[in-house]
Amino acid sequence: AQVDPKGLVEAAAAGGYAVGAFNMHNPETTEALLLGAEQAASPVFLQVGRALVPHVGLRKAYEMTRRIAEESEAEYVIHLDHGPWDEVFEAIRLGFTSIMYDGAHLPFEENIATTRHVVEVAHSFGIPVEAELGRIPDADQPVDDWTAYYTDVAEAERFVAETGVDLLAVSVGIVHGVPLADPQPLDIQRIKEIKAVTGVPLVLHGASGVPDAEITAAIDAGVHKFNADTDLRHAFRAGIEDVWKQGDRQLEEAMAEGRRRMVAATVGKMRVYGCAGTAGG
């Protein structure tokens, strides 16, 4: 059943764990996340993200997710990931119960002003808002100076106070995707400082490719929602490739193996995040 997103993250913060938020790409990957949540007895954020929306459109993405999720026994939230300005309002109209508005590319004052407006509209519908401060590079993008990407602690304090966001996504050494070389270690001290001045649960995007020990340290420092996509997509892909290596099999056979692998990978992440076993709580 659909559950209250704010309640989920508050329970995670109180319990010292984090909830997983994962991106779907088609029916099979949506099913994989829900089956993973059922197997792990975990709630799950189903994220409609930046790959799916241009592919099928926001409405179809939402309808597909909702129809499949309604058949499941899992506790889920349908969340808009990295929503641009127009899309967050469209998502609210469609029935999303959780949104991320991403104004991180905007000048700071504009990010504050637009985020504050999104928060006012979303809160009037009882919908919590995640926003982002700092810049998250892609895995294949060379980074000379990490400090230019990091979330600034003083800006984070002002941003949360002036916008009223429910969750803040921070940049602390993470990348979208899995880095080919050694990853930058997370700046755990910065997470603690941002947590101390903002008081809101923090979100770590780009959780694929982050070592388990750093995930655990990030939770202890104040992260209570992790976004992961690439690791699960890689698991799905490995299943497809293994079937097709054996010959020209049916698409369904390949997709079923992809789904099976992605379920296992989802359960694994839920155990690391600590949300496994918390459904119904």
Distance, in Å, from the CA atom of 122 to the CA atom of 92, rounded to the nearest integer, reads: 7
Whole-number Cα distances in Å, 37 to 54, 72, 158, 217: 26, 10, 36, 23
Cβ proximity to Na ion: between 39 and 216 the closer is 216
> Would you call 138 a catalytic residue per the annotation?
no
Cβ proximity to ligand 13P: between 210 and 221 the closer is 210
The answer to whether residue 269 forms part of the interface with Zn ion (CB under 5 A) is: no
The answer to whether residue 177 forms part of the interface with ligand 13P (CB under 6 A) is: yes
| 268 burial via Cβ count (<10 Å: 0-12, 13-18, 19+) | middle
* CB of residue 82 to ligand G3H, shortest distance in Å: 18
* CB of residue 98 to ligand G3H, shortest distance in Å: 16
Q: Which residues bind ligand G3H (CB under 6 A)?
A: 89, 121
Question: Which position among 25, 190, 195, 205 is part of the footprint of Zn ion (CB under 5 A)?
Answer: 205
**The pair of three-digit structure tokens given for residue 276, joined into one six-digit string:** 């496994």
| Active-site hit among 4, 81, 102, 138 | 81
* CB of residue 58 to Na ion, shortest distance in Å: 24
The answer to whether residue 2 forms part of the interface with ligand 13P (CB under 6 A) is: no
| 217 burial via Cβ count (<10 Å: 0-12, 13-18, 19+) | middle
Phi/psi at 7 (5° precision): -60, -40
Q: What ranges make up the beta strands (E) of the chain?
A: 19-23, 44-48, 76-83, 98-101, 129-133, 167-170, 202-204, 223-228
Q: Which does 205 bind (CB under 5 to 8 A by kind): Na ion, ligand 13P, ligand G3H, none?
A: ligand 13P
**The pair of three-digit structure tokens given for residue 266, joined into one six-digit string:** 């989802």
Q: Partners of 80 in the beta sheet?
A: 48, 99
Question: Which position among 28, 75, 81, 187 is part of the footprint of ligand 13P (CB under 6 A)?
Answer: 81
Q: Which does 164 bind (CB under 5 to 8 A by kind): ligand G3H, ligand 13P, Na ion, none?
A: none
Question: Which position among 207, 243, 255, 275 is part of the footprint of ligand 13P (CB under 6 A)?
Answer: 207
Distance, in Å, from the CA atom of 184 to the CA atom of 181, rounded to the nearest integer, reads: 9
Cβ proximity to ligand 13P: between 209 and 274 the closer is 209
Distance, in Å, from the CA atom of 197 to the CA atom of 115, rounded to the nearest integer, reads: 19
> How many residues form the binding site for ligand 13P (CB under 6 A)?
14
Question: Which position among 151, 227, 266, 278 is part of the footprint of ligand 13P (CB under 6 A)?
Answer: 227
- Specify whether the CB–CB gap between 102 and 68 falls below 8 A: no
Positions that interact with ligand 13P (CB under 6 A): 23, 49, 81-82, 176-177, 205-208, 227-230
Q: Which residues are catalytic?
A: 81
Positions that interact with Zn ion (CB under 5 A): 205, 227
